[in-house]
Structure 1
Amino acid sequence: MATTLRPSLPSLATALGLVFMVGAAALLLAGPGHRVASTLSLPQTAVIPPATLLHRLDGEYSRANRPVDPPRVTVRIERPIEIMRYQVTVADYVRCVAAGACKHLDNPPGRGDLPVTGVSYSDATDYAGWLSRATGTRWRLPKDLEWVHAAGSRFVDDARGLDGSETNPALRWLADYEREANRKASSDPAPRPVGSFGANEHGVHDIAGNVWEWTQTCLRRVSLDAAGRTLGETSNCGVYIVEGQHRAPMTFFMRNPKAGGCSVATPPDNLGVRLVRDPDWRERLPASLRRLLPA
């Protein structure tokens, strides 16, 4: 008769412990010397500290089938955000193209110090993936809330002041007209060299200048009842929020917003990129443990 051997609980625990120790050792060996070799210098970054914000939510809201402004809510950002001080430049993007990881620009400008424009959401994420591989650290597009926090006092709250209780559509049209007229009057469609718009209080340059920046936040549509309770919410991840002089939803494949793709309001002049860097597992450890890791 065949005999089935069953491991005892102590021996099983010992085996699991060995697996854990081997895994931990592998993580320790995966130090900086084991990252992707790179001659590419890391972009300059600013670290935005945690904070509590009174935040205008993103998305398109309607109450009792009438457009309303998204609500302002108090949100807490628990961790620091490390974000590029400058937008990705033409010269930066061309390196990605040369490496075969990014698509060629449709109309490349002659100056490398200009912020790269004419990039789609897919182009932006391709660049983030290439930069992550080239530097051995993870870069990604910011969430809308992260971008707003980094923008600080330069974030433009372009709410129309409509609460859904006004039944006269002419007032909404007038509010839209005034907002769009103000935008067009201050529009400056020609991109300027990075640094032209100066730094905000966080040391982030050119934010909310004349180049809009992709975020990874999908477009949300939220329906409220007459009392302001949420009836339903949908997310469309074929459309993403771009931030700049105003918020705008943009289809992921659009490179030129003037050709279409913006579902409401005046489309942005230019679509560009600014990335956030995520700390790796070593950086998340307490300082006392980091000192024990191999250099």
Structure 2
Amino acid sequence: MARIAAIEPVSGISIAIPLALLVALSVAVAVQSGLLVTAGPDRTVAAPQTVVIAPHGFAYRDATEYFRNGLAVDAPKLDREVTTTLEIMKYQTTLRDYNRCVADARCEPAEQRYETPSQEKIPATGVSYDDAVRYAAWLSERTGAEWRLPSDFELAYAAADRFPDDALGIDPNDKNPANRWLADYEREARRAAAIDPRPQPQGSFGISQTGLVDFAGNVWEWTSTCNKRVDLDRNDPAAEPDPRNCGIMIAAGKHRAPMSSFVRNPKGGGCSVGSPPDNLGFRLIRRPGFLESVKDFAQRAMAEMFGPATNARGRAG
């Protein structure tokens, strides 16, 4: 009696991924060949220098403020795995580049507290979160690429060994106020203002293992992360706030500092916690273009369908 070969059912995923790949690649070819026309911006400004950080895992302590029994406790530090590349400006935005946005009447002038000998190598400071968002929109239009502020997570990932750990380092169940006071005092002592708070030329504060220059110097950098508080006693973690409706954003440097989005001079207050930053500036992330996203999607889809070995062969070819 003849044997009838068993036919394995074809899963929806195995069909959907090749179809999605085919559609994405078809659109990419159409754009590349000019069959599909996309509106392009007035590309009159050179893109800033960037570093590309390959996917890897790292330990991240959440920027959220946690409380138990009315006392601040350390946020959890968890191992996170990043599966895509991250492209971020190697240096902080310079005063020269920021002033180009001002000249185009798209940005407000920075509130410089110090005279600068050179705008080309000095970071733009005296800028608010709102200023940074406006600059990112202007730069996106002028370069033809999409630029945005990094989240606290992305900036920590990019800064690597230069990113601070703000933990008190005491047992969260320790109810002795003296221990907590001493730990907080030591932390604030480490956060003391720089001897010379004036913005320094690029390269004055070293480089991270990932190639990021001058992070954790005397310029704190705005992020797109909204300040959040969680009361662990309620067992009801706060919902992730919408940055568009958030007035207090996280700036990161030698330590994290929750700051009002409109503040340009951190010494003037603005809801900062603990020692205020010396200066406020920023650097931006470049979001991959369409063709880059298609390529990344294709590589990940190939890995999902055929495994890492096949994907590695595809990259080598």
State the TM-score, normalized to the length of structure 2. Answer: 0.77
**Counterpart-to-counterpart distance in 2, 1:57 and 1:98:** 38
The AA in structure 2 aligned to 1:237 is: C
> Could you say if the C-alpha distance between residues 32 and 39 of structure 1 is closer, same or farther in structure 2, counting changes exceeding 3 Å?
farther
> 1:121 — aligned with what?
129
> 1:273 — aligned with what?
282
Tell whether 2:252 aligns with 1:224: no
> 1:168 — aligned with what?
176
**Counterpart-to-counterpart distance in 2, 1:169 and 1:32:** 65
Aligned pair count?
Answer: 265
SS at 1:248 equivalent: strand
> 1:100 — aligned with what?
105
**Counterpart-to-counterpart distance in 2, 1:265 and 1:288:** 43
> 1:182 — aligned with what?
190
SS at 2:67 equivalent: strand
> Could you say if the C-alpha distance between residues 158 and 40 of structure 1 is closer, same or farther in structure 2, counting changes exceeding 3 Å?
same
**Counterpart-to-counterpart distance in 2, 1:145 and 1:38:** 30
Q: Tell me, which stretches of 5 or more residues in structure 1 are unaligned?
A: 1-19, 290-295
**Counterpart-to-counterpart distance in 1, 2:86 and 2:68:** 34
- Report sequence identity in percent: 49
Residue of structure 1 aligned with 2:145, choices 137, 151, 168: 137
Tell whether 2:156 aligns with 1:151: no
**Counterpart-to-counterpart distance in 2, 1:32 and 1:146:** 33
Greater fraction of residues in strand: 1
> 1:64 — aligned with what?
69
Q: What is the CA distance between 1:32 and its match in structure 2?
A: 9.8
User: In the TM superposition, what whole-angstrom CA distance separates every residue of 1:147-171 from its partner, at most 9, and x where no partner exists?
Assistant: 0011011111121113431222222
SS at 2:227 equivalent: strand
**Counterpart-to-counterpart distance in 2, 1:31 and 1:271:** 42
> Could you say if the C-alpha distance between residues 232 and 86 of structure 1 is closer, same or farther in structure 2, counting changes exceeding 3 Å?
same
**Counterpart-to-counterpart distance in 2, 1:207 and 1:32:** 40
Q: 4+ residue stretches of structure 1 with deviation over 4 A?
A: 23-28, 30-34
**Counterpart-to-counterpart distance in 1, 2:193 and 2:95:** 27
SS at 2:164 equivalent: coil
Q: Give the alignment of 1:185-224 within 5 angstroms.
A: 188-224=196-232
> Could you say if the C-alpha distance between residues 208 and 46 of structure 1 is closer, same or farther in structure 2, counting changes exceeding 3 Å?
same
The AA in structure 2 aligned to 1:249 is: P
State the TM-score, normalized to the length of structure 1. Answer: 0.82
> 1:9 — aligned with what?
none
Tell whether 2:245 aligns with 1:240: no
**Counterpart-to-counterpart distance in 2, 1:188 and 1:80:** 36
SS at 1:82 equivalent: strand
> Could you say if the C-alpha distance between residues 186 and 117 of structure 1 is closer, same or farther in structure 2, counting changes exceeding 3 Å?
closer
User: In the TM superposition, what whole-angstrom CA distance separates every residue of 1:215-272 from its partner, at most 9, and x where no partner exists?
Assistant: 00111111113xxx84331547211111100111111011111100234211111000
Q: What is the CA distance between 1:30 and its match in structure 2?
A: 8.4
User: In the TM superposition, what whole-angstrom CA distance separates every residue of 1:31-64 from its partner, at most 9, and x where no partner exists?
Assistant: 8995223231110000011111111111110123
Which deviates the most, 235-244 or 28-37? 28-37
SS at 1:286 equivalent: helix
Q: Tell me, which stretches of 5 or more residues in structure 2 are unaligned?
A: 1-22, 299-317
Tell whether 2:295 aligns with 1:251: no
User: In the TM superposition, what whole-angstrom CA distance separates every residue of 1:162-206 from its partner, at most 9, and x where no partner exists?
Assistant: 343122222222211111122217554111011212322211110
Contact 2:266 2:272 in 1 (8 A): no
> 1:4 — aligned with what?
none
> Could you say if the C-alpha distance between residues 32 and 171 of structure 1 is closer, same or farther in structure 2, counting changes exceeding 3 Å?
farther
